[in-house]
Amino acid sequence: MDETTIISLNIMEQLYSCMKSYVENYLIYRTIKRQTHNLVLVDVTEMSFLKEISDACFQMCFIYWCNVFGSKDRNNPIHWSNFDIDVEEFFDQMGMNQGEFDSYAKEVKEFRNKYIAHPDGYNNRIPFLDKANKAIFVLDSILKDCDDVLPFGTLRDYFEASYDKYDEIVCQIMVNCQRSSIID
């Protein structure tokens, strides 16, 4: 393997790692959010702890998404535009044109910049992550068709396979928290 191939594989690994981290943070965020509505915690401190974890994961979703779809400068080798993909296919699968996608990406970057990274009194609505999820899954699917490097199939497969597992883990943590509060 020549040096260029090694660098390209390293960048592809970074991209997949970032996209997988997005998916994992989204799973944790959604699971905690859903579970805290279904379970009454004994201690307000426990609820606060879980809320902080959920919020941190929610914010990390925006950071990871922007790593892939945010800034197009040369200092970001994992930006999606640096990969040889069919952009028309991407937008077709997204059900958006480039202008609509760019507008959504601008909202996400503004939220990341003005609320997460530098709290500047952000007053706009928080962007929904449904389009962000879809963009991650679509890009992954297109890249998967080009290069079969993921051992577990697509990130959508990983998401669907992990959804119940994350639910069980968070539920068990919450039950353990309740037990320790009762014992204390």
pLDDT in tens, 46-72: 778 888 999 999 999 999 999 999 977
What is residue 91's predicted lDDT score, i.e. its pLDDT?
97
pTM for the model stands at 0.85
Q: Where are the domains of the chain?
A: 3-183
Distance CA 75, CA 97 (A): 26
Could you report the per-residue pLDDT of 148-176, keeping only the tens digit for each?
555 557 888 888 888 888 888 887 877 77
Could you report the per-residue pLDDT of 130-152, keeping only the tens digit for each?
999 999 999 999 988 655 555 55
Could you report the per-residue pLDDT of 73-132, keeping only the tens digit for each?
778 899 999 888 999 999 999 999 999 999 999 999 999 998 898 877 778 888 999 999
What is residue 63's predicted lDDT score, i.e. its pLDDT?
96
Percent of the chain with pLDDT over 70: 83
What is residue 183's predicted lDDT score, i.e. its pLDDT?
47
Residue keyed to tokens 């389009």: 131
Helix/strand/coil percent split, the chain, to 5: 75, 0, 25
**How many other C-beta atoms are found inside a 10 Å radius of the C-beta of residue 139?**
21
Q: Burial code of 52-71, b = ≥16 C-beta within 10 A, e = fewer?
A: eebeebbbbbbbbbbbbbbe
Round to the nearest angstrom and report the end-to-end CA distance of the chain: 59
What is residue 118's predicted lDDT score, i.e. its pLDDT?
85
